[in-house]
């Protein structure tokens, strides 16, 4: 059913239950979340290593800020990012409003503290005597850093997956900065699994909403299963 104004422009487009609609939503969701998590990891991991390895004034404060960032309300992040990318904002010249890239930016802000915080905890939990052993065997500072990353690898992987979990299941900020837009041919521009579920449910298309919900659930469950599996693999010291 398509309601049309007298000019012929569609007011509300009723997408039928079609796979290309579903597929495009999954693609946008994965694209936005994966790119955001990759960028967050690239920025957060060095920060976590730097904080974990060095002693400096304000280290506790910085750690607290990162931990606070893990609980940022996503709608507030969305609002701030929308302001930043709007015409009057500092990133206004990039013309990012209602684009997947703006969504990536907001998910980056949400995922980065999670990845930094969990990685920092993992790096900090590597025992000093293991680092000392690497140094005593003739390792340089770089070698000791690599040993620490290797020892913390399960924790770091957990951090990345937790960041992905936060990004893919997030709804508030992507709705604000992305606008939940789909083309008239039924393919997504900035519509993600979460924002699509919200829309479909509001419009009473529960079948589609339920299917999208199930797909999102499978994705999140798969990520959590990997996290649990990694957690089980990464423990234990001598019998």
Partner 1 sequence: MTLRATDVYHAYDDETVFEEVSLSVSPGEVVAIIGPSGVGKSTLLRLLALFDAPDDGSIEYDGTDVWAVGDRERLEYRRRIGMVFQEASLFDASVVRNAEYGLRVRQSWTDRIRHELASLVGAENGTIEVVDALDAVGLADKADQDASSLSGGEAQRVAFARALAYEPDVLLLDEPTSDLDPRNTAVLEEAIGNARDRGIGVAIATHDMHQAERVADRVAVLLENEVIEVGPTETVFEEPTDDRTQQFIDGELIY
Question: Where along the sequence are the contacts to partner 1 (CB under 8 A)?
Answer: 127, 129-130, 132-140, 143, 147, 150-151, 234, 236-239
Q: Return d(Cα 105, Cα 111) in angstroms, integer.
A: 10
Residue number, 33 or 148, with CB nearest to partner 1:
148
* Integer-rounded Cα radius of gyration of the chain: 21
* DSSP H/E element including 13: strand 10-13
Helix pair angle (206-233, 193-202), 10° resolution? 150
Query: Position of tokens 């931990």?
Result: 67
Burial of residue 139 (number of CB atoms within 10 Å: 0-12, 13-18, 19+): middle
Query: CB of residue 143 vs partner 1: minimum separation in angstroms?
Result: 5
User: Please, which residue, 137 or 218, has the CB nearer to partner 1?
Assistant: 137
Nearer to partner 1 by Cβ, of 28 and 134: the residue is: 134
Q: Report the residue number, 8 or 138, with the smaller CB distance to partner 1.
A: 138
Q: How far is the CB of 151 from partner 1 (least distance, A)?
A: 6
CB of 126 to partner 1, least distance (A): 9
Query: 56 or 238, CB closer to partner 1?
Result: 238
Smallest distance, Å, CB 43 to partner 1? Answer: 25
Q: How many residues does the chain have?
A: 239
Beta strands at 2-4 and 10-13: parallel, antiparallel or unpaired? antiparallel
Q: How many C-beta atoms lie closer than 10 Å to residue 177's C-beta? A: 30
How far apart are CB 44 and partner 1 at their closest, in Å? 22
């Amino acid at each position: 059913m398509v309601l049309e104004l007298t000019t012929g422009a569609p007011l509300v487009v009723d997408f039928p239950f079609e796979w290309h609609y579903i597929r495009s939503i999954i693609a946008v969701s994965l694209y936005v979340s994966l790119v955001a998590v990759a960028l967050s990891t690239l920025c957060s991991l060095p920060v976590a290593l730097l904080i974990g390895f060095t002693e400096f004034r304000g280290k506790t404060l910085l750690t607290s800020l990162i931990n606070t960032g893990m609980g940022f309300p996503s709608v507030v992040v969305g609002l701030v990012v929308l302001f930043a990318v709007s015409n009057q904002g500092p990133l206004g010249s990039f013309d990012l409003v209602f684009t997947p890239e703006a969504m990536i930016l907001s998910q980056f802000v949400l995922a980065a503290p999670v990845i930094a915080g969990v990685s920092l905890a993992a790096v900090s939990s590597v025992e000093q005597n293991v680092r000392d052993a690497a140094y005593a065997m003739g390792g340089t500072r770089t070698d000791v850093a690599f040993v620490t990353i290797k020892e913390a690898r399960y924790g770091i992987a957990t951090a990345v997956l937790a960041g992905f979990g936060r990004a893919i299941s997030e709804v508030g900020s992507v709705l604000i900065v992305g606008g939940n837009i789909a083309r008239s041919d039924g393919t997504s521009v900035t519509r993600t699994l979460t924002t699509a579920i919200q829309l479909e449910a509001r419009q009473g298309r529960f079948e589609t909403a339920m299917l999208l919900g199930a797909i999102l659930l499978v994705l999140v469950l798969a990520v959590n299963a990997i996290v649990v599996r990694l957690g089980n693999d990464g423990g234990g010291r001598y019998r």
